[in-house]
């Protein structure tokens, strides 16, 4: 019998992630109320990767919200070109992917990719506070800063600045100079945090968001739009070689070159993760999140309101 667990390390890691038992995640009955969503992420592709939030963004757009994407890094390390060229290509592809999802704008802060640890936290936070006050989102999306063992420095640092800005943008005495520009304090009411479960612990999704098939497809198309980093042929080549050593092959890959096979694998994975999260929540497709709302800072208040509120 073929030993599929002897497959290459990349595939094996995927199997480990797939095998993590998940408690049922409650389905969010409807999206939070609002008009504007601000996505605060480090990288060009953080809204579309397999663990990402492209489906939720598509759903917000479909339901009439204006969604803006902030890309804090210049993404110079992502891709096979030299840094300056990667920055250009990745920015172009980020704008195209944002259009696929229906977002209004990509705002690039251009910090050096993978060197965000050297940015003073307060400086990055001040930029995000400024943007929150300008765009006035009710809803903020970003990387869950409470995820442990996140090995990507940009995910850690931008996630932390995002969480602080989400709260502090509402405080009038934080950056009072913004008022001279006509920007008033603004506190968003809802935060969706995302993380990669295959890299670490500490991220505990508490809500699932249902997606329809078209939203999953748009998320996938947006992901594919990042051609500079998408579907590396070496991945398919390694899988093919390992399967061949075991006398196995994938019929669907017959006649495909390594690049085409890598694309097929990515398409399968994107659809699989949406189906898997959906199955965990009892629907066809979903994404899951760590969700905070305006009452989470006040333990017991939701229960008090539920028990005491009446109609006049
Ligand atoms: Zn990223």
- Profile the chain (312 residues) by mean pLDDT over runs of 10 residues: 36 38 81 97 85 92 98 92 93 95 97 92 97 98 84 90 96 96 95 78 88 95 88 89 93 91 88 92 94 78 84 88
Residue 46 CA to ligand 1 center (angstroms) comes to 5
Residue 122 CA to ligand 1 center (angstroms) comes to 21
For residue 75, what are the contacts with CB-CB under 8 A and spacing of at least 6?
A: 43, 44, 86, 87, 90, 91, 94, 113
SS3 state at 248? coil
Superfamily holding 4-14+32-294:
LmbE-like (3.40.50.10320)
Residue 200 CA to ligand 1 center (angstroms) comes to 15
What pLDDT shows up at residue 166? 95
Residue 158 CA to ligand 1 center (angstroms) comes to 10
The enclosing H or E element of 140 equals strand 139-143
Residue 163 CA to ligand 1 center (angstroms) comes to 16
Residue 300 CA to ligand 1 center (angstroms) comes to 35
Output the CA–CA distances (angstroms, integers) from residue 276 to 83, 161, 288, in the order listed: 36, 31, 10
Residue 112 CA to ligand 1 center (angstroms) comes to 13
Taking the C-alpha atoms of residue 200 and residue 194, their distance in angstroms, rounded to an integer, is 12
For residue 12, what are the contacts with CB-CB under 8 A and spacing of at least 6?
A: 5
Residue 275 CA to ligand 1 center (angstroms) comes to 22
What pLDDT shows up at residue 19? 43
| pTM (two decimals) | 0.86
Per-state percent for the chain, helix, strand, coil, to nearest 5: 45, 15, 40
Residue 42 CA to ligand 1 center (angstroms) comes to 6
What pLDDT shows up at residue 23? 64
What pLDDT shows up at residue 199? 61
Residue 43 CA to ligand 1 center (angstroms) comes to 5
Residue 110 CA to ligand 1 center (angstroms) comes to 14
- C-beta separation of 193 from 298 below 8 A: no
Residue 19 CA to ligand 1 center (angstroms) comes to 23
Residue 64 CA to ligand 1 center (angstroms) comes to 27
SS3 state at 139? strand
What pLDDT shows up at residue 50? 62
Output the CA–CA distances (angstroms, integers) from residue 49 to 5, 181, 287, 303, in the order listed: 25, 36, 12, 36
Q: Which two tokens stand for residue 254?
A: 């017959």
Output the CA–CA distances (angstroms, integers) from residue 173 to 2, 177, 184, in the order listed: 65, 9, 11
Residue 47 CA to ligand 1 center (angstroms) comes to 9
């Amino acid at each position: 019998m073929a030993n599929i667990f002897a497959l290459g390390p990349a595939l094996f890691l995927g199997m480990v992630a797939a095998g993590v038992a998940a408690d049922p995640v409650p389905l969010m009955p409807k999206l939070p109320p609002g008009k504007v969503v601000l996505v605060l992420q480090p990288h060009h592709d953080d809204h579309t990767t397999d663990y990402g939030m492209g489906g939720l963004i598509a759903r917000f757009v479909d339901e009439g919200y204006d969604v803006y994407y902030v890309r804090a890094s210049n993404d110079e390390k992502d891709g096979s070109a030299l840094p300056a060229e990667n920055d250009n290509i990745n920015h172009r592809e980020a704008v195209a992917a944002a259009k696929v999802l229906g977002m209004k704008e990509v705002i690039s802060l251009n910090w050096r990719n993978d060197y965000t640890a050297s940015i003073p936290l307060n400086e990055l936070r001040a930029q995000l506070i400024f943007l929150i006050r300008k765009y006035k989102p009710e809803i903020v999306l970003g990387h869950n800063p409470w995820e442990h063992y996140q090995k990507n420095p940009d995910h850690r640092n931008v996630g932390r600045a995002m969480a602080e800005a989400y709260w502090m943008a509402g405080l009038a005495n934080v950056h009072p100079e913004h008022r001279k520009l006509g920007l008033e304090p603004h506190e968003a009411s809802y935060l969706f945090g995302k993380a990669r479960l295959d890299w670490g612990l500490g991220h505990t999704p508490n809500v699932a968001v249902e997606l329809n098939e078209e939203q999953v497809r748009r998320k996938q198309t947006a992901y594919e739009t990042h051609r500079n980093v998408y579907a590396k042929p070496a991945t398919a080549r390694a899988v093919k070689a390992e399967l061949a050593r075991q006398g196995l092959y994938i019929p669907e890959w017959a006649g495909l070159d390594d690049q085409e096979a890598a694309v097929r694998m990515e398409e399968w994975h994107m659809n699989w993760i949406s189906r898997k999260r959906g199955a965990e929540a009892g629907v066809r497709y979903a994404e899951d999140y760590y969700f905070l709302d305006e009452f989470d800072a006040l333990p017991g208040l939701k229960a008090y309101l539920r028990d005491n509120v009446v109609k006049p």
